[in-house]
Structure 1
Amino acid sequence: MKPDATTAKDGPETVEDSPLIDKPLKRPREAGARLSPEPAPARPVPPAPEDDEIDLLELFGTLWRGKLWIALVTALGLLASGFYILNTPPTYQADALIQLEEKSGALALPSSLASLMSEEPRSATEIEILKSRMVLGQGVERSHFDWRVEPLRVPLVGTALSRFRLPVLDGLIPARFVRAGEGLRLADLSVPPRWQGEEMALTVTGQGSFTLALPDGRALEGRVGAPASDEETGLTLTVAEIAAEPGRVFLLSQVGMLDAIDELRKEWLSVSERGRGSGILEARLTGPDRARNVEVLDAIVKAYVEQNILRSAAEAEKSLEFIRSQLPGALLALRRAEAALDAFREKNATVGTETKALSDEINRLEARLAALDDAAAAAPEERARLEARLAELKAELGAQHKAERELASLTRNVDLAQRAYVELLTRAKDVEMLKASAIGNVRIVDEPAATPEPVAPKVPLILALGMLLGGMLGSGGVLVRNWMRHGVRDAADIERMGLPVFATVNYSRKGDTGGARRGQLPVVALTDPHELAVEGIRSLRTSLHFGMLDAPTPTVTITSPHPGAGKSFIAANLAVVAAQAGQRVCLIDADLRRGQLHRFFDAPKEQLGLTEILAGDARPEETLIAGPVEGLSIIETGRYPPNPSELLMRPTLGELVAWCAENHDLAIFDAPPVLAVTDPVILGRVTGATLMVARHDVTPLQEVEAAIRAFESAGVPLTGAVLSGFDPKKARSRYGYGYRYAYGKRKEE
């Protein structure tokens, strides 16, 4: 087991049992001799941690030590989240479902028309149409989204006060600020273009009356339900309802159409498809007013449906215009075909009858020629005559067939022209019926409706984020503070600089002299002698006894790098425990700027002291004050001089040190911080030993190094150091041991 930091390095278990302390110290007085203390046995110094090594136990210990700060910042984060929730107006959401259908009418149209009018749903295209200026502009115009009515709220907390009725604060809030439950509704607002976007303050002046402050400085008075207009600018205003006390102020404005559309598209409206390729569009609109959300979304959805119907009707209208443009040409072609047929029939009225007669005659002649061929004695002249007649009839029959073919062609032309004309008439009637019954290819599945509960702010999420951010900021603050402070963590930090640590004094809550503590300070060695801090002082007494065996004088200067390190606490309690061990002790307050020892022993401030001794105005015997323990004498600072450093450089300081060595076994000089003034260096040159007090987890290592250099540069080596205010809870854990030992009060036998 290693000896504890608060116990003596060698010697008996308790200092009171040491025979070396029970009698006065006898030391050589050779001139020019300096302190050369017997070096204490070197103890193993734990290796310094690697820079890139993260000690999780130390990290957790650092966070645990800062748990109060982390809890405070976390609580502040929760309070900030609660303030944000209370001061944020609730946001509601209205939604509607729209189905995209194929463009096929319910009428019995020809299959060719039905195929032309059918179309697959195009969700992306319809979403863009729904968010277009054409549709949103109609929605803005119908719902008057470009009107703005904002109540005048109290700065910073106005939203919370406008949401919750607080009768206690009503008398403290000016009358112009709107309270919870108060509002105003407009029936008409028309602002000239140059005033669009300008806020106009409407002040309620009475029951049903108001005054509107115009942007040009003039005022317009009006009453609820009656139009109020300004003939000079063309501004018109009709207030439908006022539910507010006189004196309340509302801010009215009308934004431009494009600005309203842009705001609606970016901040209020969102459109998406439910499921890929489903053809179901979901339109959502968020805002602080539930009823207003439904009104605006309903206007937008209806405008979209109407434009879709108009688009379908426009397509039918174009088809009808095309058909009607073709009807005159078809009718003209029919008339021309009929006229050609009639003219041919008038010219060739007997085409059908002559053909039959010629055919009969040809048949008869062919029969006679056949009979002549059968007769043996046929006359050649008769045959020749019949054949000539037959050839003549056949020629006439060929001419008759050509006329019949021309008649058939003319008849066919008339039929085709008539059929085309009738088809166009039929198509025109069908398209007219389609136009008259156009319903578009969209259908509202769910009418716009608002959610009963607000969608924002999300209270659980915000509280969780506030707590999380608060905890992160608190933890970060603890880690940054720990990283920036670089305070002495244990005796090994000081010993690495080549300065031996004579004792480690535990933190004493009762004797804490730091901060803004006022009044008398307790001497813990008297009020609570069994406290661990007192045991550390006793360890310092023992270490100092052996360390000053070769000192020229039994005098020691106690200083620190900075104020608040606990040097006065160490000096006062060391003097008490040394006197309790039977030594003659002289405690001198050498801080001629802001001495603190009088607060420990309740000494009068006007008492002659060190200043008068150094100035030659008093002898040391005349300034001594009896301490609370037998054998302890105290010399106060006296009056604060204007030149402390120059006063300490007088020969009288060496005479005082010699007087202390002749009349006391130990003299303790409580010096000011060395990094603030040069007084400790001056004292260290004439006293037998110099101790530096560093406060655990407070004194930066850089200041310890600077204090060591300050003494070395003056040729005054430091004898050792004292680690004060040691807190076991803040001690490093990477070395694998903890501080568990403690003294308890002994039972009386």
Structure 2
Amino acid sequence: MNSSNSYTKYPQGEITSTREQGRLRTYLKHGYWYLLSLVAMLITGLVYIWITEPIYQIQASLLVKDEPATSLQTTTEGTHADDPNTVIDNELEILKSNSLLKKVIDTLGLNVRYFRDTPFGKREVYEDSPLRLILQNPTANIYRADLHIGIVSPTFIQLNDRIYPANRSISTPFGQLQVLVKEPVDYANEPLTIQVMPDLEAIDYYQRRLTIEPSSEESTVLLLTAEDAVPARGEALLNQMIASYHSAATEDKSRMLAESLCFIQTRLKVVAGEITVMERAVEQYKTSHRVADVSAKARLLLNSVQSNDAQLSQIAIQRSTLRDVEQYVRHKQTGLEPVPATLEFSDPTLIALIGKVRELELQRDRLAGISAESNPIVQSLDRQIAFAKSSIAKTAAILRTSLTNEQNQLRLANRQYDGQIGLLPEKDQKLTNNVRQCAIKNSLHTYLLQKQEEVALSYAALTSASHVIDAATRSPEPIKPVKALVLLAFGLVGLVVPTAVISVARLFNKRIAERGQIGEATAAPVMGEIAYIQYKWPLIVDGQKRSVAAEQIRALRTNLQLLRKNPADSQVLLLTSSLSGEGKSFLALNLAASMALVGRSTVLVDLDLRRPRLHAMMHALNFQGSSSYLAGEANLINVIQQVPGFEHLNLISGGPVLSNPSELLSGPRLGELIAELRLRFDHVVIDSPPVGLVTDAQLIGPFADVTLYTVRQGVTPLRYLKLIDSLYQENRFPKLNIVFNSVQDTYWSGDPRDNGQTTGYEKSSAMRSHPVY
């Protein structure tokens, strides 16, 4: 066994140093609530993940081809006709347009949604739906109601409460509808709940789930992303969007080529008819004049003339088309109609410019349907179209001059050939002229056939200006809910809830909860802290018990020695508090016992004449005490009692409760009592009444050397800290120091006793915490 002088090391003195540390310990003290809340919220998070409908991400990628600019276009300042960003912006506007999305919704029937009941609520189905609702002529009330449709047989369905034939047009309270039943029919399926969305609502619903953006700043690849709880529907949506986008682009181009082809075919019919007429005229002439064929000399001239005439015919067609182009540019400087056909021209610059105008007009036409005229992209296209038409006009003027010069030279050559033909015999002249006219029509017919083949090849090779890189594919795992984030969020809630509850409780708590509150409210020093402890007997400092609180009281005893002016003089110690129940009597008893244990003669004086308690705590007699001495009814010898088990500890109980305690404490006998005790004892420990209730303690204060003001955690109201500060600032009590009592802290690991063998608090029903005294 360890000797009585062998002490286990415990934390002593001032444990808490800041308000933040005290606040942290307040939260940590309720660690089990944090654990329960965290576990409960994590379980709730798992249930949430389990019942929440998963959302998948569907993505497709589309390459927008960027055609190279012509030499004239690349010199255009500020137009940026072929800027990849401009091309991407234009295509983004088209892909995001309401018209394109409405076309997709109508094609796939996405404005009709099908739901099936599950243990987790209604879940939407798409490909798994056993039926499909076709809206033929719906009424307005179909958008405000849920339709419940079940399959009764292969030929009948039940709509709400009525039976209708399947796969046929039916008249219902919701308008003219048709319900198509898929094969094979599964009658075990529960009825589906069907919701029909209006067009604007459907467009808004799917637009909010769509994202279209470039893959990078410099790239012309567009990423189309959809989020949907039904991945098959998301894939169908993106694929159909791309198909409709391609279809819209190729339809515009095919319409232009069709116009050119129609023009050529019309001209071919006219020329073919003229050839027939000319050939008959030649045959009739040969028959009537009995001429087999032109002479060899005439044939030589005819071959030369035919080549010349073919060139003149081509120039005439080009000049005619050029007039149409010039008229188009002159009268519609910012027009949006397609330009005339350009296959007759051989000038690559003019063909490129006209083709560019055609592309710009198509883009503007498509954008004008989905945005206002004030849209910066539309205005940019208008400027580009105007500049391109201005370039066409200049190029057309140059080409017309060139064609005119070439035509004049060919006509001059023809006049020379005509003169040579005039020298032929009369029959050869007429036959040569007829054959010549027929050859001109044949060469023109051959030219038109060639152009027809070119247009047909262009029509067959028609492709969109975009290319699908990746078709729509869904993510292998749902993107929502994100399990880690959900669990993290619920875990944070699990930590925040108890923190909020504790904080609210602290907010409305008007009592001292931590050491930092004392330091903020008063300048009075805190000499020490006494840990919360449960016990059977209030005297915890008896030379045997080794609790943390007992060691802290011993530390407090040591600190008191530092306040003595002369170690040889006796010391009068006054203990008071704000209210009853803060533990001043408990502290006075154990502090006096700790002083007696070190061999110093100590007397414990109960001057709480209104509610004396020390005699009850010590199981001592109370027939005579402080009140008897102050009233002059007893002397000092009569009121001093020896405390059993303590050689150097004496007690003066409170005595009988009299009706005039304040008058007794104001009389001369109090000074005589303290003076006589100073002569006989090394330490005089006085237990006085609470300051916040009566003024008795202030009457005793002038006779003390040191004052210990007891405040208790969770008991002392915060408002009394101002009183303590006032008493300290006004020096109402000598050397006033605060003792923070009954501190509950996770730092205190238990109540170790004899030789450190007992740990943990005693749990007997008879136990009480010390501050009840």
Q: TM-score, normalised by structure 1?
A: 0.53
Partner of 1:457: 481
Partner of 2:199: 257
1:290 aligns with 2:216: no
CA distance in 2, matches of 1:87, 1:670: 66
Partner of 1:643: none
Partner of 1:574: 591
CA distance in 2, matches of 1:545, 1:236: 103
1:651 aligns with 2:663: yes
CA distance in 2, matches of 1:627, 1:524: 15
Match of residue 552, structure 2, among 533, 554, 571: 533
- 8 Å CA contact 1:557, 1:684 repeated in 2: no
Match of residue 187, structure 1, among 128, 132, 137: 132
1:93 aligns with 2:109: no
CA distance in 2, matches of 1:149, 1:293: 15
- Give the 3 Å change call, closer, same or farther, for CA 233–575 of structure 1 in structure 2: same
**For 1:447-596, what aligned pairs fall within 5 Å after superposition?**
447-460=471-484, 488=515, 497=523, 499=524, 503-505=527-529, 507-510=530-533, 522-526=538-542, 528-529=545-546, 531-539=550-558, 542=561, 556-560=574-578, 567=584, 569-577=586-594, 582-587=601-606
Partner of 2:736: 720
Q: Secondary structure at the match of 1:684?
A: helix
CA distance in 2, matches of 1:422, 1:206: 68
- Give the 3 Å change call, closer, same or farther, for CA 99–181 of structure 1 in structure 2: closer
1:303 aligns with 2:326: no
**How far is the alpha carbon of 1:679 from its aligned partner?**
2.0
- Give the counterpart letter for 1:684 in structure 2: Q
Q: Secondary structure at the match of 2:208?
A: helix
**How far is the alpha carbon of 1:535 from its aligned partner?**
0.8
CA distance in 2, matches of 1:237, 1:284: 32
Q: Secondary structure at the match of 2:113?
A: strand
Moved more, 226-235 or 301-310: 226-235
- Give the counterpart letter for 2:574 in structure 1: V
- Give the 3 Å change call, closer, same or farther, for CA 535–696 of structure 1 in structure 2: farther
- 8 Å CA contact 2:112, 2:133 repeated in 1: no
**How far is the alpha carbon of 1:444 from its aligned partner?**
4.4
Match of residue 319, structure 1, among 260, 263, 271: 260
Question: RMSD across aligned C-alpha pairs, in angstroms?
Answer: 7.1
1:709 aligns with 2:720: no
- Give the counterpart letter for 2:59 in structure 1: D
CA distance in 2, matches of 1:488, 1:124: 65
Q: Secondary structure at the match of 1:585?
A: strand
- Give the counterpart letter for 2:693 in structure 1: D
**How far is the alpha carbon of 1:721 from its aligned partner?**
0.6
- Give the 3 Å change call, closer, same or farther, for CA 571–449 of structure 1 in structure 2: same
CA distance in 2, matches of 1:728, 1:533: 14
Q: Secondary structure at the match of 1:524?
A: coil
**How far is the alpha carbon of 1:583 from its aligned partner?**
3.2
- Give the counterpart letter for 2:552 in structure 1: A
- Give the 3 Å change call, closer, same or farther, for CA 336–225 of structure 1 in structure 2: closer
- 8 Å CA contact 1:648, 1:683 repeated in 2: no
Unaligned runs of 5+ in 2: 6-16, 69-81, 299-416, 758-773
- Give the 3 Å change call, closer, same or farther, for CA 529–71 of structure 1 in structure 2: closer
Q: Secondary structure at the match of 2:541?
A: helix
Partner of 1:138: 103
- 8 Å CA contact 1:694, 1:704 repeated in 2: no
Q: Secondary structure at the match of 1:679?
A: coil
- Give the counterpart letter for 2:204 in structure 1: D
- Give the counterpart letter for 1:708 in structure 2: D
- 8 Å CA contact 2:557, 2:591 repeated in 1: yes
**For 1:720-739, what aligned pairs fall within 5 Å after superposition?**
720-724=736-740
- Give the counterpart letter for 2:697 in structure 1: L
Partner of 2:444: 420
- 8 Å CA contact 1:200, 1:253 repeated in 2: yes
- Give the counterpart letter for 2:203 in structure 1: I
CA distance in 1, matches of 2:515, 2:657: 34
- Give the 3 Å change call, closer, same or farther, for CA 89–564 of structure 1 in structure 2: farther
**How far is the alpha carbon of 1:720 from its aligned partner?**
1.3
CA distance in 1, matches of 2:420, 2:62: 69
CA distance in 2, matches of 1:576, 1:460: 59
**How far is the alpha carbon of 1:683 from its aligned partner?**
2.7
- Give the counterpart letter for 1:583 in structure 2: T
Partner of 1:669: 687
- Give the counterpart letter for 1:524 in structure 2: I
**How far is the alpha carbon of 1:574 from its aligned partner?**
2.7
- 8 Å CA contact 1:189, 1:238 repeated in 2: yes
- Give the counterpart letter for 1:140 in structure 2: I
**How far is the alpha carbon of 1:419 from its aligned partner?**
3.1
CA distance in 2, matches of 1:294, 1:261: 17
CA distance in 2, matches of 1:557, 1:289: 77
- Give the 3 Å change call, closer, same or farther, for CA 568–712 of structure 1 in structure 2: same
- Give the counterpart letter for 2:229 in structure 1: P
- Give the 3 Å change call, closer, same or farther, for CA 90–709 of structure 1 in structure 2: same
- Give the counterpart letter for 1:254 in structure 2: V
CA distance in 2, matches of 1:201, 1:345: 85
- Give the 3 Å change call, closer, same or farther, for CA 337–60 of structure 1 in structure 2: farther
- Give the counterpart letter for 1:651 in structure 2: E
CA distance in 2, matches of 1:636, 1:329: 142
Q: TM-score, normalised by structure 2?
A: 0.51
Partner of 2:383: none
Map Cα deviations across residues 285-318 of structure 1 (whole Å, 9 max, x no partner).
Answer: 2212233333333333333344344344323223
- Give the counterpart letter for 1:709 in structure 2: S
Aligned length: 564
**How far is the alpha carbon of 1:128 from its aligned partner?**
3.8
- 8 Å CA contact 2:111, 2:202 repeated in 1: yes
1:266 aligns with 2:278: no
**For 1:186-225, what aligned pairs fall within 5 Å after superposition?**
186-188=131-133, 190=135, 192=138, 194-195=140-141, 198=144, 200=146, 202=148, 220-221=161-162
| Sequence identity percentage | 17
- 8 Å CA contact 1:274, 1:281 repeated in 2: yes
Map Cα deviations across residues 635-686 of structure 1 (whole Å, 9 max, x no partner).
Answer: 59999xxxxxxx98853564796797599774633544x6xxx425453234
- 8 Å CA contact 2:133, 2:178 repeated in 1: yes
CA distance in 1, matches of 2:106, 2:624: 92
Map Cα deviations across residues 311-346 of structure 1 (whole Å, 9 max, x no partner).
Answer: 443232232244356557767998999999999999
- 8 Å CA contact 1:575, 1:668 repeated in 2: no
Map Cα deviations across residues 346-390 of structure 1 (whole Å, 9 max, x no partner).
Answer: 9x999x99x99xxxxxxxxxxxxxxxxxxxxxxxxxxxxxxxxxx
- Give the counterpart letter for 1:570 in structure 2: L
Partner of 1:373: none
CA distance in 2, matches of 1:636, 1:223: 102
1:693 aligns with 2:658: no
1:684 aligns with 2:698: yes
- Give the 3 Å change call, closer, same or farther, for CA 252–667 of structure 1 in structure 2: farther
- Give the 3 Å change call, closer, same or farther, for CA 232–635 of structure 1 in structure 2: farther
**How far is the alpha carbon of 1:140 from its aligned partner?**
1.7
Q: Secondary structure at the match of 1:528?
A: coil
- Give the counterpart letter for 2:481 in structure 1: P
- 8 Å CA contact 1:62, 1:730 repeated in 2: no
CA distance in 1, matches of 2:664, 2:514: 38
Q: Secondary structure at the match of 2:531?
A: coil
- Give the 3 Å change call, closer, same or farther, for CA 399–584 of structure 1 in structure 2: closer
**For 1:263-412, what aligned pairs fall within 5 Å after superposition?**
263-267=205-209, 269-273=210-214, 280-324=221-265, 403=422
